[in-house]
């Protein structure tokens, strides 16, 4: 394990909080992810289900948690099932967790091998009428793969059709929205490593460098600091490539006079950072580039210090407020006609009210401003749920002027507080003067 493991008390507390959310007499079953295959006999690196990791800390495939907090017998209240190892597995894949190691890692006292799962389940199901089952209910999920949780849900409902089945995801995701101290510590470490990666490349970027060389510099720094690597596929977008929101080819040569948009971050201990910075390839912003950059930076600071706060609705209040600020900046940049913006605003509250996604500013700022961050880069958060203290969100405004080949996006992570917000990446350079100074040191 590259990272310092969480104390088992973290996972024990997570299960205790979930127990308080379950109704009396309910049982919950959560499965690990599958090991995904590629072509021939290949497989992808294993990535544990975020929900399963959150409850157990176990990063092995073919694992199951039975959670029955109101069971009469204490030994039935938490049961963890793991794939039993063998000499052949040890030779080809290395050691798997022993039952004692799994207990030390997860805090679950009773650990058995997976071949004992179904007999134990049949006995426990006879004692319960309400069953909570898990599924990927992220609103942006487009996964077509059938997971272990999905397959199990279908089988169990065939075996026990008379039981009442409930969704575990809403309970678990509401709990995951508020970050605990261990989660924040891991997130801060991911942010620190990401900041070091960004500082590393400020002295490396110059005309003639390839986007993929910059990607390699980031990865070198991340791996050197015990990160598992990139939190997501990095975006290293120079020139007009920065106007493609999810540009991931990273194969162009950086040209003198262009901007370079970097949307890249590290993962640490399963928790993620999410950084975006935009820098001049030659180390100096042009007056127009600086003008656009400053506009985005002003909107970002407004979001952090004034708009993102407990009690606000991200969809109905926050994003429209960001839009109004962005409209003013785009007018100042000469990109929007103030008369047309005023005419559009005059329709607010009328039957033909302009929808937010169709407003004039969306030509130059077409994505959302904030998303939840945690075990997943786009972490669990229902868009209709109000912001609360203890949540972590990105703040990432941008302006994309395709006709000028300019794309500027800035992004950081914010811990929402009751009185004020904390920037979790305070040491990542963002002031344009500081960026220019760091890029030109030693040149």
Residues with a known catalytic role: 41, 246, 263, 274, 367, 371, 378, 396, 400, 409, 411
Residue whose pair of structure tokens reads 């945690």 in the numeric block: 374
Residue whose pair of structure tokens reads 């490349």 in the numeric block: 201
139 backbone dihedrals φ, ψ, rounded to 5° = -65, -20
Beta strands in 233-391 (DSSP E): 235-238, 259-263, 266-268, 271-272, 276-280
In terms of Cα–Cα distance, which of 204, 237, 239 is closest to 218?
204
253 backbone dihedrals φ, ψ, rounded to 5° = -95, 130
- Strand order across the beta sheet in which 130-133 lies: 110-113, 78-82, 64-67, 26-31, 130-133, 164-167
Residue whose pair of structure tokens reads 């510590």 in the numeric block: 185
Instruction: Give CA–CA dist 399/274, Å, rounded.
Output: 18
In terms of Cα–Cα distance, which of 216, 223, 201, 276 is closest to 250?
216
Long-range contacts at 34-38 (CB < 8 A, ≥ 24 apart)? 34/61, 34/147, 34/148, 35/61, 36/145
329-342 as b/e: b if 16+ CB within 10 A: bbbebebbeeeebe
Return the DSSP state at 281: T
163-196 as b/e: b if 16+ CB within 10 A: eeeeebbebbbebbbebeebbbbbbbbbbbbbbb
Instruction: Give CA–CA dist 430/443, Å, rounded.
Output: 20
Using alpha carbons, list the distances in angstroms from residue 4 to 190, 220, 268, 270, 315.
12, 20, 9, 11, 37
Instruction: Give CA–CA dist 220/371, Å, rounded.
Output: 27
Q: List % helix, strand, coil for the chain (3-state, nearest 5).
A: 40, 15, 45
In terms of Cα–Cα distance, which of 1, 86, 56 is closest to 268?
1
């Amino acid at each position: 394990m590259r990272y310092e493991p969480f104390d088992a008390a973290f996972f024990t507390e997570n299960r205790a909080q979930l127990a308080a959310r379950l109704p009396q007499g309910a049982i919950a079953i959560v499965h690990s992810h599958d090991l995904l295959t590629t072509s021939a006999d290949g497989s992808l690196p294993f990535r544990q289900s975020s929900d399963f990791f959150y409850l157990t800390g176990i990063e092995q495939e073919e694992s199951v948690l039975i959670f029955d907090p109101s069971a009469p017998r204490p030994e039935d209240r938490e049961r963890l099932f793991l794939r039993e190892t063998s000499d052949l597995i040890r030779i080809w894949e290395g050691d798997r967790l022993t039952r004692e190691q799994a207990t030390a890692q997860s805090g679950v006292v009773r650990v058995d091998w997976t071949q004992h799962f179904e007999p134990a389940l049949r006995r426990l199901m006879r004692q319960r009428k309400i069953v909570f089952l898990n599924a990927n209910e992220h609103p942006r999920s487009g996964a077509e793969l059938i997971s272990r949780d999905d397959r199990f849900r279908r089988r169990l409902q065939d075996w026990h059709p008379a039981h009442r089945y409930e969704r575990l995801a809403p309970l678990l995701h509401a709990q995951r929205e508020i970050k605990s101290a261990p989660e924040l510590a891991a997130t801060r470490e991911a942010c620190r490593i990401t900041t070091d990666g960004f500082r590393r490349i400020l002295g490396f970027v110059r005309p003639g460098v390839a986007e993929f060389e910059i990607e390699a510099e980031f990865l070198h720094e991340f791996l050197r600091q015990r990160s598992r690597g990139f939190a997501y596929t990095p975006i290293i977008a120079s020139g007009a490539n920065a106007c493609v929101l999810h540009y991931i080819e990273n194969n162009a040569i950086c040209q003198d006079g262009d901007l370079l948009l970097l949307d890249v971050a590290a993962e640490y201990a399963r928790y993620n950072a999410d950084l975006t910075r935009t820098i001049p390839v030659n180390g100096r912003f042009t007056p127009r580039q600086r003008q656009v950059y400053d506009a985005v930076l002003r909107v970002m600071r407004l979001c952090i210090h004034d708009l993102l706060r407990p009690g606000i609705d991200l969809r109905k209040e926050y994003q429209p407020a960001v839009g109004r600020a962005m409209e003013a900046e785009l007018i100042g940049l000469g990109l929007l006609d103030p008369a047309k913006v005023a005419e559009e605003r005059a329709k607010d509250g009328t039957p033909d009210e302009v929808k937010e996604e169709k407003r004039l500013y969306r030509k130059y700022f077409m994505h959302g401003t904030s998303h939840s961050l945690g075990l997943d880069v786009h972490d669990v958060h229902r868009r209709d749920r109000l912001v609360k203290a203890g949540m972590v969100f990105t703040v990432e405004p941008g302006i994309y002027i395709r006709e000028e080949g300019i794309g500027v996006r800035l992004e950081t992570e914010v811990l929402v507080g009751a009185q004020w917000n904390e920037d979790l990446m305070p040491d990542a350079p963002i002031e344009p003067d500081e960026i220019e100074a760091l890029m030109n040191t030693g040149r």
